[in-house]
Amino acid sequence: MTDIPTPQTVAEALAWASDRIDSESARLDAVLLLGRVMGQSRTWLYTWPDAALSETQQAAFQTLVERRAVGEPVAYLLGEREFWSLPLSVNASTLIPRPDTECLVETILVLALPEQARVLDLGTGTGAIALALAFERPEWQVWGVDRSPEAVALAKANSVKLALEHVHFAESDWFSALEPQHFHMIVANPPYIDAQDPHLEQGDVRFEPRSALVAGDAGLADLRDIVHAAPDWLMPGGWIVLEHGWQQAEAVQALLEARGFRRVASQRDYGGNLRLTLAQWESP
Instruction: Tell me, yes or no, whether 251 and 192 share the same domain.
Output: yes
Instruction: State the pLDDT at residue 203.
Output: 66
Distance (Å, whole) CA 259 – CA 242? 15
Of 64-78, 185-199, 201-215, the range with the lowest mean pLDDT is 201-215
Instruction: Tell me, yes or no, whether 39 and 93 share the same domain.
Output: no
Instruction: Tell me, yes or no, whether 64 and 170 share the same domain.
Output: no
Instruction: Tell me, yes or no, whether 21 and 158 share the same domain.
Output: no
Q: Confidence class of residue 125 from pLDDT cuts 50, 70 and 90? A: very high
Q: Confidence class of residue 246 from pLDDT cuts 50, 70 and 90? A: confident
Overall number of domains in the chain: 2
Instruction: State the pLDDT at residue 23.
Output: 82
Instruction: Tell me, yes or no, whether 152 and 34 share the same domain.
Output: no
Residues in the chain: 284
Q: Is the pLDDT of residue 165 over 90?
A: no
- Written as one letter, the residue type at 146 is D
Q: Which domain holds residue 24?
A: 10-70
Instruction: Tell me, yes or no, whether 218 and 180 share the same domain.
Output: yes
Instruction: State the pLDDT at residue 159.
Output: 96
Instruction: Tell me, yes or no, whether 88 and 162 share the same domain.
Output: yes
What is the average pLDDT score of the chain?
Answer: 89
Instruction: Tell me, yes or no, whether 40 and 156 share the same domain.
Output: no
Distance (Å, whole) CA 53 – CA 30? 14
Last residue of a domain, one of 25, 45, 70: 70
Question: Residues 90, 194, 89, CA angle at the centre, nearest 5°?
Answer: 5
Instruction: State the pLDDT at residue 190.
Output: 87
Instruction: Tell me, yes or no, whether 110 and 235 share the same domain.
Output: yes
Q: Is the pLDDT of residue 2 over 70?
A: no
pLDDT in tens, 44-98: 999 999 999 998 999 999 999 999 988 888 999 999 999 999 999 998 888 889 8
Q: What is the CATH number of the domain that holds 36?
A: 1.10.8.10
Is 4 a domain residue? Answer: no
Q: Is the pLDDT of residue 106 over 70?
A: yes
**Biggest alpha carbon–alpha carbon distance for the chain:** 73
Average pLDDT over residues 262-270: 93
Is 5 a domain residue? Answer: no
Of 20-29, 222-231, 259-268, the range with the lowest mean pLDDT is 20-29
Q: What is the CATH number of the domain that holds 126?
A: 3.40.50.150
